[in-house]
Amino acid sequence: MLEYGQPVVVEFAADWCGPCHIINPIIDRLAVVFVGQIKFCKIDFDVNPVVKTTYGIRELPTLLFFKRGEVVDHIIGAVSEQKISKKLEDLLQETTSG
């Protein structure tokens, strides 16, 4: 997954997490906007303890932005669609320029 040719966004979330329910529709919309440019994945915080430990995930929701298999940015908490979209645009810009 992380060696995917395109940038990857991984959302760490849980069913019991209220803020996760706030950003889920935002992520779904942005996945459509950026289809073919960015790969979106979701990881259930409660089901994947090794992955959450590997990346030090302690707060939900957390979005990790990967480029060439490396974490290059993150967002913690429920934030606006504009903020997430800006990070995605920056990620694409970094990908095409470097």
Residues belonging to the active site = 17, 20
The vertex-27 CA angle with 24 and 28, nearest 5°, equals 85
Residue 50 neighbours by CB under 8 Å, 6+ apart: none
Q: Catalogue the E-assigned strands of the chain.
A: 8-13, 39-44, 62-67, 70-76
Structure tokens, 42: 């979701």
94 Cβ partners below 8 Å, 6+ apart?
Answer: 67, 72
